[in-house]
Amino acid sequence: MKKHDQDFMKRQNRLTVFEMIKNHHPISRASIAKRTGMSPTTVSRIVGELTEQGYLLNSEQVSAGLGRKSTLLGMVNASVLAVGVELDRTRMSIGVVDLQGNMVCSGKYPRVPEESAEQTLMHIGAAMEELVQQHTIDRTRIVGIGVGLPGIVDNEKGVVLFSVQLGWRNVALAEQLKELTGFEIAVDNELKVKALAEQLKGAAVGSSCTALLGFGNGVGSALILDGEIYRGVMNSAGEIGHTTVDPNGTMCECGKTGCLQTYINISSLLAEANRIRPVGTIEELFEARQAGERWAVQLIERALIYMAITINNVVCMYNPDSVILSGELIDKFPDICDEVEQLYFSRFVWEPLRASFAFRRSMLSEEGVMIGSGLLSQNRFFALA
């Protein structure tokens, strides 16, 4: 084996052991060896290294039955911290996340939609420093910054290829933010990191195939397979918002007609509503529906039907064990989940698959992207360390 390959194997093994303890602690060395298929010697060596570096807690425990003592391993949650950032058109959210994805502290900051990428990154750097100082976070424990945003992201190079919401094209985010802050930067699509967070800490804990759907200013999805983000060749797997539903439909912001998201997302719903009467916000539209205005009832019913259709298509395509609904529409109007399930599942979700998946609302809601971005940054750190 070449030196380079050996190093790679070592890093992979280290990460595997680390993840195993993180996800299944308290756990014994023997159990790690059994579950990972690694030799007990390799496991012991890695555990020794991680303990020395302050990541692990060792505790003696007498196992039931045999009365034999075994050492169980746990995590020191605060031994590793990462900063998780969510970027949106008009807002930035920044949080400090520990090893288990717990939010240590967080803050929300406005973003001017017209500002340049450079200005946004400067603001992130300044806000992060302020947050860290305000909460007296030990800066030496921060292993990196993760950024989640809407758009197509080259996650390996850390480049935002295209984001309609941010108005960015080919922004070398990782490189620029690293220069500003000195930290290692991980960048990814927001729904991908959110799905990662839900699978580790939220509504899909224990799931081995999670599909997360986002209904908000856009429509998208993400798939987590055995704890890993499914990416496709250019990290754009899951962009279902631009699947074509009606070739004769209305124009989408992407330049095509009849994309799925034109029936569901907030701006499309508002654009349709304004053909009837002036409606400024999505809340107003839902109030009109509540008041029984027929056009509003129909417009939202159509959106819910397309949500059910989306769920059916995703379930048919991937056969997930969990489907999680998230996004601004779901956060603001949580009853949507029950309505879609009760009113439209029997009509639109294929019968043999109807009971094959758990259907839930996002548990982490507004914190999901920050937590997922922080965890992504930590994963990157452990893979490289």
Footprint of Zn ion on this chain (CB under 5 A)?
242, 252, 254, 256, 259
Q: How far is the CB of 71 from Zn ion (least distance, A)?
A: 55
Q: How far is the CB of 310 from Zn ion (least distance, A)?
A: 14
Residues 6+ apart with CB under 8 A from 244: 256, 257, 258, 259, 260
d(CA 44, CA 48): 6
Q: CB-based burial of residue 156 (10 Å sphere; 0-12 exposed, 13-18 middle, 19+ buried)?
A: exposed
Q: Are 203 and 362 in contact (CB under 8 A)?
A: yes
Tell me the C-alpha to C-alpha distance, in Å, between residue 197 and each of 14, 54, 191.
21, 24, 10
- Residue 254 or 343 with smaller CB distance to Zn ion: 254
Q: How far is the CB of 190 from Zn ion (least distance, A)?
A: 17
Q: How far is the CB of 252 from Zn ion (least distance, A)?
A: 3
The pair of three-digit structure tokens given for residue 106, joined into one six-digit string: 């967080």
- Residue 212 or 264 with smaller CB distance to Zn ion: 264
Determine which helix (DSSP H) or strand (DSSP E) holds 379, and give its type and residue range.
helix 368-384
Q: How far is the CB of 251 from Zn ion (least distance, A)?
A: 9
- Residue 263 or 382 with smaller CB distance to Zn ion: 263
- Residue 199 or 265 with smaller CB distance to Zn ion: 265
Q: Tell whether omega for the bond before 26 is within 30 degrees of 0, i.e. cis.
A: yes
- Residue 204 or 259 with smaller CB distance to Zn ion: 259
Q: How far is the CB of 309 from Zn ion (least distance, A)?
A: 16
Counting every residue written for the chain, the total comes to 385
- Residue 74 or 258 with smaller CB distance to Zn ion: 258
